[in-house]
Every structure is written in structure tokens, then in C-alpha cells.
A and B are shown apart, each in its own frame.
Chain A
Amino acid sequence: MSTGRDAATDVATLTVVEPGPLTTLQDAGRLGLASLGIGRSGACDRESYRLANRLVGNEPGEVVLEVTFGGLEVRADADVVLALTGARCPGLPHDAVFSMSRGSTLRLPPPVSGLRTYVAVRGGIDAPEVLGSCSTDLLAGLGPKALAAGDALSVGPAPKAFPNVDVAPVAEPTAGDVTVSVMRGPRDDWLTDQGWAALLGEWYAVTSESNRIGIRLDGPALERAKDEELRSEGMARGALQVPPAGKPVLFLADHPVTGGYPVPAYVLEEDLDMCAQLCPGQRVRFRLSPSAL
């Protein structure tokens, strides 16, 4: 918890001046613990997470900051090399390696488009692991607390590899309406034909009650074909769960391990990172993937 660079141990720190609305530490998540009721968690937008580490030359599983809608301000207590990926914050280098000198601060304005910005530091963030991961799981209450002003983040030792990509050309999250591909899920027979027609024909808006657990959507209620209780069953990232009121919820990184509401459809893996960047107010339309008919 020292500040600055300690000559003996060579530990650099970043001090959180402002955490913004929500900044958490994330890595690749907890694997193999679902039978204990513990989900994977980890970075919501996995591709942006991987890219951030790759840009600064880190090993793939290093700990980064996941910044929700900007607002983070950090002070470097030593010279550090870092990269921002995911939602672009205006005026800052994006999808590119840059450095901060000792004593300087970095402030992330709200993104132009997208929701989550990843901040990777060369060397990674050194944090205590909980059950094999440093990820904050908001549903389970596991892992480090969300960052608060005054927190000192230790930067790990620099990896042997040097950054070998200066700028990565990556499509940025869109601010407009999106079309998301789904395939039929385990409980596709729990929606009536009208329910399916609504799911595949209507626009659904991302509400402000969305978080790392899931995206709550608002739009025409999906008509259910069955009213009985479903026995709780396993859930995976990408599940479109339909509670009794008929407004679907799309599960993201911190989804519950099991759930008792039917899942008529799953969002395809390749569209999930895009979904993790959706902001309240954006609209989604689902289409049945031709490859998954």
C-alpha cells in the first residue's frame, strides 16, 4: 500500500482519485466452481479485455480495470504504460499503447459510444485472488470491492514481452440501434407463436436497470405458453430469460448460476461483447441466426 516506486521492490501504484459511477477489477473470471453456486464473472466485454492486455504486452489473464461510463480518474505514482479499449473516451488514445509519467493523472470522460472501457496497465494490477480470480462478481458479492477514491492499486512486475502492437484497428461500439443474433434455447416452447413473433419482430430498449448481471429490456411483453413454475436450472451468459411479466433479461458476466424462469433463446457468443457495450436507451432487435435454424 505504499505510494510511488519503491526502489527495493520496484512496485508502482495507481491511486484512484475518482472511481466514476462504477469501476471494478476484472480478469478472465472463476472457472470450475459452478457446482458450488459460484459463477464465472470476469470482464463483460471479453474481446476488449483481451485486446487491452495484448496491447501492453501482458499475459492474457492479467487484471485490468473495467470502467462503466467513464468518470474514472487515476494518478500514476510512477511511470506506467497502459492502453484503453472498449468504449472510446474522447480525447484519449484508444486501442493504442501510451504512457503516463510519474505524478500525472488520467481522467476518462464519458464514452462517445459504448458503456465499458478497459484500462490495462503493463504488468497488470496486483490484487488478492478470491477463489482463483480477482474479478468483482456483483451478484455473488465475491472479489474486491468496486474501486473507491483513495484506493492504491499495485502494478505487477512488467512482463518479459514488449508491446508489439501500437494501434489495433477495432470496430467501435455503436451508439445506435443494433441487431443481435439468437438461436433457440432450452425453453423455446414456453413462448407462444405471438411471443416468438414479438421477440423476433419488435424493438426492445435497454433500460437503466441493466448492469453486469444482465440487461433488462423493455418492449412488448413476450406471451408465454406456460404458466407453471419451472424447476431452477443452469444459466449461461447470453441467456434471454423471460420472467412472468414477459420483459426479457439478457444475462451477462455476473449472471446467476441457476435460474427459475424460462430461457426461450440464447444470444450467439459472437454478439455478446457487443451487447456488453449497450447503453440505456439503445434499442435491440433480435433475429434468428440462419446458422442456428
Chain B
Amino acid sequence: MSTGPDVPFTVLPCGSAALMLELDSLDDVLAIYAALADYPPAGVLDLVPAARTLMLHLDPAQTEPAAVERAVRQVTPRHGDRTHGELVEIPVVYDGQDLDELGSLTGWGADGVVERHTGTEWTVAFCGFAPGFGYMVSDSGGFDIPRRSTPRTKVPPGAVGLAGEFAGVYPRESPGGWQLIGSTDLQTFDLDREPPALLTPGTRVRFLDKRAT
């Protein structure tokens, strides 16, 4: 059932071209992701880390899920090099439509939400949803934000939101169910930049209150 004593995982089937590992914590996901990203098993095309899972896409012409599973069990997970990522500062105007409601919901007040958002360092754990959408986790923890009960059909680009343990910035207009607390002019995805995604896994992030400066 496990790779080493500290990173147990379960393997879940996802057809013949993918498989998924389910782990106990985001740290465990990132530890095994770090190891596999450095040395991907033969025939593995792509890795998708998420909150408690890691999906491996594979080429069925080259390998099969059982062979990849055997290879993954040989991997030594690599814990905790989160502090080595590049630091990106994101200036935010805290004028989000959900800020006041979220302030009452959490009991922190609108100012308290902003203080907590700017007062911690965040790390991009993984990307998903849309190109360049980074799921950021707080280094000090303490966030457990419910999603909106009805998602918005249109969230503007640059919207800064919270959901669950994560903070995020919408790279482009899209539907979305996160609680919106502010907005930024910073382009988080730009095809003319190399790499196009600013918020890649491991990147450290500080949100700056634009009103305060």
C-alpha cells in the first residue's frame, strides 16, 4: 500500500491511459510529485497534482497502468523544498464582491480577511481549471472557505478568490464558484512570456494591499 513509511497512497483506476494516486495530505502529493517530475517512469506523458491526488497520464502504446504503478512504488518521495521557489508579489485591490459577506461568514470582518490574505506567504501547490490557474496554499494554514452555493457564470480576469484551503487568481474570464475578495492587474497567464504561466507549482506568492501603499 505504500511507498516508504511516510507517504502511503491508494491507486485508483482511470482507464487504460491514466491512473491516480490518492494520498493523505497535500504535502504528500507534492513530495511524490516532486520525485516523479524529476524522474518520470517510462511511458508517463504528464502529471496532474491536486489537493489529495496525483494523476499520471500515460501512453498506452508504451506502457500500462500496472507497470506505472510498480515504477511509482519504487520512487523516493521528496519532501519540503517549498521555500526554494521564486517569490512573486501580486498587488491586489481588495474590492471583491464577496469580501463583506466572507468577513461576516468567517467572523474575521472584511479587514480581517485582507489581513490574513496579505499576512501569510502562499505557495502554488498545483495548477488546473484553466491555463495558469494556480491553487495556492497558505504557509500558516487556517483557511477553510466554503465555495459560493451558486457559481458565477462570469468571473472577470484578474479576480482574486478564496475557496477551501486555497487562494487563486482567475487568468481569464470564466465561470467560477470561488469567493471573490479583490482584483489584480497582474497577468498570470501570457503566451508572449516564457513560461506563459506565472504561478507554477512551487512558486511562492505574497499578496500586497494596493490601498495600503
A residues at B contact (CB < 8 Å): 31-38, 40, 130-131, 140-142, 183-187, 229, 231-239, 256-258, 263, 266-269, 292
Contacts and interface: CB of A to CB of B under 8 A. Distances in A.
Contact of B37 (A33, A35, A258, A292): A35
A34 B12 CA distance: 19
Nearest to B55: A234
B196 interface: yes
Interface string B164-183: 10000000100000000000
B66 to A, nearest CB: 12
Interface string B128-150: 11111111000000000001000
- How many B residues are at the interface, by size bracket? 35 or more
A183 B65 CA distance: 13
Contacts of A34: 46-48, 55, 57
A235 B200 CA distance: 19
Contacts of A232: 50-51, 128-129, 135
B20 A233 contact: yes
B164 A236 contact: no
Contacts of B12: 185-187
B45 interface: yes
A231 B196 CA distance: 26
B60 interface: yes
Interface string B55-82: 1010010000000000000000000000
A83 B10 CA distance: 46
Contact of B15 (A35, A38, A183): A183
Contacts of B48: 34-35, 233-234, 257-258
A85 to B, nearest CB: 20
Nearest to A34: B46
Given A38-B131, A142-B131, A231-B51, A185 B15 contact: yes
Contact of A233 (B55, B60, B127, B134): B55
Residue in B14, B129, B191 with the greatest tally of chain A CB atoms within 10 Å: B14
B18 interface: yes
B13 interface: yes
B190 to A, nearest CB: 12
Contact of A32 (B46, B50, B51): B46
B128 A37 contact: yes
Contacts of A131: 191, 196
Contacts of A36: 127, 131-132, 195-197, 200
B201 interface: yes
B129 A269 contact: no
A233 B14 CA distance: 12
Residue in A31, A33, A233 with the greatest tally of chain B CB atoms within 10 Å: A233
B116 interface: no
Contacts of B126: 35
A256 B14 CA distance: 15
B184 interface: no
B164 A256 contact: no
B14 A239 contact: yes
Given A231-B164, A267-B15, A268-B15, 11 more contacts: A32-B46, A33-B46, A34-B55, A35-B200, A141-B131, A184-B13, A232-B50, A234-B14, A234-B18, A256-B129, A268-B16
Contact of B20 (A38, A40, A130, A234): A234
Contacts of A33: 46
B49 interface: yes
B17 interface: yes
Contacts of A142: 131, 191
Nearest to A29: B45
B13 A266 contact: yes
A38 B132 CA distance: 8
Contacts of B131: 36-38, 140-142
Given A234-B20, A256-B129, A40 B46 contact: yes
